[in-house]
Each structure stands twice: as C-alpha cells, then as structure tokens.
Structure 1
Amino acid sequence: MGIIEISEIIIGLILILFGIMAVSSKKVLNSIIYLSIMSMLAVVSFVFMKSPDVGITEAVIGSGMATALFLFTLFSAKKEGDK
C-alpha cells in the first residue's frame, strides 16, 4: 500500500466520523459546521479519485452555497424567534 491509498482510507474514515457527528449533534450550528467539513473532505477524496471537475463542483455547491444557505436560514430563524 502506498501513501496515496493510506491517505484515502484515512480521509474516508474521517469523512464517516464527521457524518456521524453531524447527524448526532444536538446543536444545529455544529451540524452545519460538520457538514461543511464533510463536504470539503469529499472534495479531497474526489481529487484523489482523479475527478477534479466533480471536486470543484462539490466545493462550490456543497461547501460554499449549501453552507451559506444553512447559516443564513439558521440566523434568520433566530431573528424571527427574538421578535
């Protein structure tokens, strides 16, 4: 096994760990952060699989836009609850 295969396995295990943490977290903000980290790790795994176009799309849509949408919705809902 080379260094690439070992790093793919480690990133895959960390990806699974952050997925479990995102689902089992009690705080919504922590879940959003864990999902963002999970998406960035998916970008790295796509690059390891030699598909950088899918990795770039995941970085823009999954990490960027989805995280921003989740955070905007969370903070908007908190402002509505304050009124």
Structure 2
Amino acid sequence: MSLALGFDLLLASALLWSAWRALTTVRLDHAVVVFIVFGLLMALAWARLQAPDIGLAEAAIGAGLSGALLLDAYGALRRREAERKAP
C-alpha cells in the first residue's frame, strides 16, 4: 500500500466519522464544530481529487461562511434561552 493510498483511506474514514458525528451529536455546539471540521476535510478531499478551485470554495463557503453563520445562530439561541430563564 502506497503512502498516498493510505492517506486517502484515512481521509475517507475521517470524512465518514465527522459526517456521522455531526448528525448524531447530542450537543448543538459540538455538532456545529464537527460540521466545520467536516467542511475542512471535504476541502482537503477536493484538493486530493485535483480540483483546487472547488476545494477553496468548499473551505470558504462550506466551512468558513456556513460555520460562522451556524455559530452566530447558536449564540443567538443561547442568548434567547438565557433571556427566557431570567426573571
């Protein structure tokens, strides 16, 4: 087994693991972080498939922009829950 094939298998298993964890994680903040990790791993997979333009778009939009929006939405949700609990 060559080093490139071993890396590709490791990347594929990390992609599957992170996708599974993002879907099955109970805590919402952990799910958002794992989703961002999934986007970064997907960008690396696109680069390994010799599609660097798609990889850059995935990193910028999939991991960066979507991750930032999800983290902001999670923060707003936490603030709203704190306001409801406050007397």
Q: TM-score range by the shorter chain?
A: over 0.9
Q: Does 1:79 align with 2:43?
A: no
Q: Cα RMSD over matched residues?
A: 0.9
Report the alpha carbon displacement of residue 77 of structure 1 after superposing the two structures with TM.
1.2
Report the alpha carbon displacement of residue 2 of structure 1 after superposing the two structures with TM.
2.2
How far apart, CA to CA, are the structure 2 residues paired with 1:37 and 1:82? 28
TM-score by length of 1: 0.94
Unaligned runs of 5+ in 1: none
Counterpart in the other structure of 2:70: 70
Q: What amino acid is aligned across from residue 46 of structure 2 in structure 1?
A: F
Q: Does 1:18 align with 2:31?
A: no
Is the radius of gyration larger for structure 1 or structure 2? Answer: 2
Report runs of 4+ in structure 1 exceeding 4 Å deviation.
none
The sequence identity of aligned pairs, in percent, is 18
Count of paired positions: 83
Q: What amino acid is aligned across from residue 33 of structure 2 in structure 1?
A: I
Unaligned runs of 5+ in 2: none
TM-score by length of 2: 0.90
How far apart, CA to CA, are the structure 2 residues paired with 1:33 and 1:80? 21
Counterpart in the other structure of 2:29: 29
Q: Does 1:47 align with 2:27?
A: no
